Structures are given as C-alpha cells and as structure tokens.
Amino acid sequence: MTSTVTAATPMQVLELYRAAVYAKDVEALMQLYAPDVQVFDMWGTWAYEGAGAWRTSVSDWFGSLGDDLVRVEMEDVQHTQSGELAVLSAFVTYRGMSAQGQELRSMNNRLTLVCRQDGGGWQVIHEHSSSPADFESGKVMLRRG
C-alpha cells in the first residue's frame, strides 16, 4: 500500500526513506524526490537525471529482491539547513533480510541528500551515495571499519 505522506522536516526524509525501502514501496520512495532530482548512485551509471530515470533504477532494485527485505540503518547523521535548502549526510548500512527476519548480507556506504522545501514538504533534489576505494587495488570498500 502506497503512502501519501510528505516529509514535514528534512530529517523526516530519512525516516520515510527507511520505511519505503523496507516496504519496497516505489511510489512512497519516489514521493521523496523532486521531479528534477539528480542522483549519483554507486551502481551501474554515473548519474540518474530526473525522477523517471531514478524510478526505473529503484523499481529494478526492489524487483530484484524477491521476498527479501532491506533494513536501512543510519549513523552519524549530520544536518544543516538554511531557508528552503537542507543538506543531510550519514553513514548507511543496508541489511538484506529474509522474509523470516534473518540477515542475509549487508553493506555500508556514505549518503548525502540535498533537500528543498516545496510547498507541501521537503523533497530530495540531489542524492549522492559512495564508498571509498582502496588506493592500491581500486576496489570499493563496502564495509566501514
């Protein structure tokens, strides 16, 4: 069931993000993003330009999960706001969970969101997720340590 809740505060964007990902609710997640959003995601492409492109990626992600769920945990959340713009950053853990609640896998990354207040609430206008790469091997480090 799709939620029609809008983020009343920039910090609420994070709570709604967590809930939508866990529910694998594409519509609820996409409500958090402005139509002109730009996303620098870690996987597959340099940038997603606009909500339509991001929706396709999100739909593919949720569709690939089968019965599995993803629990999102955020640590060291930083938040700054000036007028109609806010920036949030956090260290994120994505935990793949079986339908029975058993952890199957996890990974860490860094997340930065730039949000804009537009009438009814706060929406993400830019998202950037990343993980550091090992200088010697070039491999991305998916564990924060």
| pLDDT, tens digit (0-9, with 9 covering 90-100), for 121-133 | 999 999 999 988 8
Q: Look at residue 74 and tell me if it is in a domain.
A: yes
How far apart CA 41 and CA 16 sit, in angstroms, is 19
Q: How many CB atoms lie within 10 A of CB 68?
A: 14
Q: Look at residue 5 and tell me if it is in a domain.
A: no
* Total domains, the chain: 1
Percent of the chain past pLDDT 90, that is, above it, reads 79
Q: Look at residue 92 and tell me if it is in a domain.
A: yes
Angle, CA 126 vertex, CA 79 and CA 40 arms, to 5°: 115
Q: pTM score, two decimals?
A: 0.91
Q: Look at residue 145 and tell me if it is in a domain.
A: no
Q: Look at residue 141 and tell me if it is in a domain.
A: no
> Which residue is it, tokens 């866990």?
22
Strands 103-118 and 85-97: antiparallel
In CATH, what number is assigned to the domain containing residue 30?
A: 3.10.450.50
Q: Look at residue 1 and tell me if it is in a domain.
A: no
Residue-wise pLDDT for 2-45, tens only, equals 545 689 999 999 999 999 999 999 999 999 999 999 999 988 88
Q: Whole domain around residue 20: which residue ranges? A: 10-130
- Torsion, Cα of 70, 51, 142, 107 (10° steps): 0
Q: Look at residue 135 and tell me if it is in a domain.
A: no
